[in-house]
Structure 1
Amino acid sequence: MNYSLFSPILSTIQYHQFIAGLFGGIISPIRGLQGLYGGVTSNVVGNGISLGLYLFIYNTIIVLNNDQDKIKNLTFYYRTIYSTTAGLLTIILTNPMWVIKTRMCLQYSNNKTAITYNNMFDAFRKTYQSEGITAFYKGLTPGLVGIFHGTIQFSSYEQMKSFYVNPFHTTYFLTSVVFTFSALSKFIAATSTYPIQVICTRLQDQHQNYNGVLDVIKKTYKRKGISGFFKGVVPALYRVIPASCITFVFYEFILYELKHGII
């Protein structure tokens, strides 16, 4: 089962909880079952490109700045620097895709004058025509702060691996170990940076008008208090933790095979 095809349902529920939190109600289903798959294409493409870019940049930086011996003994400090740099470049390059994904998920308005999108390419075209190129970088400022999500996840994941390697003297990781480390690191990263994601999503929502990050924070806190910054966190965790586990299992498998010259 391709988890990316299921995760848009949880993404849509998660984003709808964000918006429902603003108005104190639940957004009624107006698009049926199809609405649960809003943004499926941009979600699959966005996740693939983002993770692929992140891992490529992260590993490229490590290889270019260290010899083989140093790579085996990277400190937590350098892991943090490398993962932050990779996250920064990835967010800048992929922000337009996440704007489109958010807007595809949040097509809930009954207003006949509201812009509707037929598919990902239609969303790109209409967004550019109505708002220009700057629309694709809405939410970028809090998104740049959100690079710490990747930093926290990768740094903690690599640190857990180091704690495992030292006593067991092995570079081979059982699937259960990878699942555990990836789930824990993703949980820590997702929960600690979740308010930033809420702010980004609300800035990117085509149905709302905010005067920047501070305006979002002020209005969200005024309406729902601290809990408003954690709306949708449960479906978000159900979405990202299994995806992270599956991704890291394949990531570690491919790394192991490449290092041993099998593939």
Structure 2
Amino acid sequence: MASEDVVTKTTSESAVTTIVNFAEEAKLASEEVKAPKDALLSVCKSLIAGGVAGGVSRTAVAPLERLKILLQVQNPHSIKYSGTVQGLKYIWRSEGFRGLFKGNGTNCARIVPNSAVKFYSYEQASRGILWLYRQQPGNEEAQLTPLLRLGAGACAGIIAMSATYPMDLVRGRLTVQTEKSARQYRGIFHALTMVLREEGPRALYKGWLPSVIGVVPYVGLNFAVYESLKDWLIKAKPFGLDDKDSELSVMTRLACGAAAGTVGQTVAYPLDVIRRRMQMVGWKDAASIVTGDGRSKAPLEYNGMVDAFRKTVRHEGVGALYKGLVPNSVKVVPSIAIAFVTYELVKDILGVEMRISD
């Protein structure tokens, strides 16, 4: 009788153990299924935050963005835009309020996915670069340095720029069009179709090389300066800075973003000018649009990035490489600042724990 009780007890314990193990395995399986869903949701939220940041920041400075491009590509023999204030007034008088935001729809259609991919790529690139760095002996506990952040930012910039470059080319051409010029392009998709039909697929990537070279210091320095400056402010607490929660105020982060944008765009600006000019090559209506005067000389043809640099400097001087720098500086300072802060705020709102500073 006792032996039967022992057998019954053993059987019961075995059954309970089996049920518990089954429940634990089911729980783990459920968590494994849930984990990818959570990860995918986190990725989507990160991309949304980056897209919102890009759209908000670019729309806020759209008039200055258009003036910058007009200054970059205008013919030196027919000057219509001689400065920031004068240029904005000229656009307002000749084209009205809508003229100040011409091309912004195309710009946002490009910058929203560009910004989303850029911020997300930076997060992934910084993690990957840090992991590789920690594989080296003695670097097991290393943290991101300004140089590593520069590399991660460069990778993010190249990926994002390459993915959306055709939209950037179309945006540039739509932005240059004025009310007085023949309307060759009616919109984004019409412009893409016309470029493909008249100039071929390769035309969609005109100016890509200087863009790649320029995006390395531009985006790389943006991220490196922004994050490094934030880290320094949190750790050093200069100027009586109080950050009990190890979190900077919105105004302080805006200042960090402004500094980052100023440094990045100053270094990379000449390449942006060359890229924009190369994008206009092959456009049949470019001469009448850029010069605004049938008596003016047609835009120069460029055989490549080096040739574009050489001809620009020879015909217009070194200063031509910085045409539009003033409105661009006024644009970049708030634009980059707004983009960084908006990105972090939107991720906070969406409940995404990981941010670029982490």
Does TM, normalized by the shorter one, top 0.5? yes
Q: Give the length in aligned residue pairs.
A: 259
Aligned counterparts of 2:197 and 2:78: Cα–Cα separation in 1: 32
Q: Is the 8 A contact 1:62 1:71 kept in 2?
A: no
Where does residue 258 of structure 1 map in the other structure?
Answer: 352
- Identity value in percent: 22
Give unmatched runs, 5+ long, in structure 1: none
Query: Where do residues 1-263 of structure 1 align in structure 2 (5 Å cutoff)?
Result: 2-20=56-74, 22-23=76-77, 25-26=79-80, 32-33=95-96, 34-64=98-128, 66=130, 73-108=143-178, 116-147=184-215, 148-168=217-237, 171-205=246-280, 206=283, 207=286, 208=299, 209-255=301-347, 258-259=352-353
Q: Is the 8 A contact 1:11 1:105 kept in 2?
A: no
Aligned counterparts of 2:308 and 2:72: Cα–Cα separation in 1: 12
Q: Is the 8 A contact 1:22 1:220 kept in 2?
A: no
1:71-122 deviation line (CA, Å, top 9, x unaligned): 992122321221111111112111111101111011259676xx61111111
Q: Is the 8 A contact 1:190 1:237 kept in 2?
A: yes
Alpha-carbon RMSD across the aligned residues, in angstroms, is 3.0
Aligned counterparts of 1:250 and 1:120: Cα–Cα separation in 2: 27
TM-score, scaled to structure 2 = 0.65
Task: Tell me the secondary structure at the aligned position of residue 25 of structure 1.
Answer: coil
Q: 1:180 to 1:234 in 2, by over 3 A?
A: same
Q: 1:92 to 1:210 in 2, by over 3 A?
A: same
Q: Is the 8 A contact 2:73 2:276 kept in 1?
A: no
Q: Is the 8 A contact 1:42 1:101 kept in 2?
A: yes
Structure with larger Rg: 2
TM-score, scaled to structure 1 = 0.86
Bigger CA drift: 170-179 or 148-157?
170-179
Q: CA deviation at 1:199?
A: 0.3
| Structure 2 counterpart of 1:46, one-letter code | R
Q: 1:109 to 1:220 in 2, by over 3 A?
A: farther
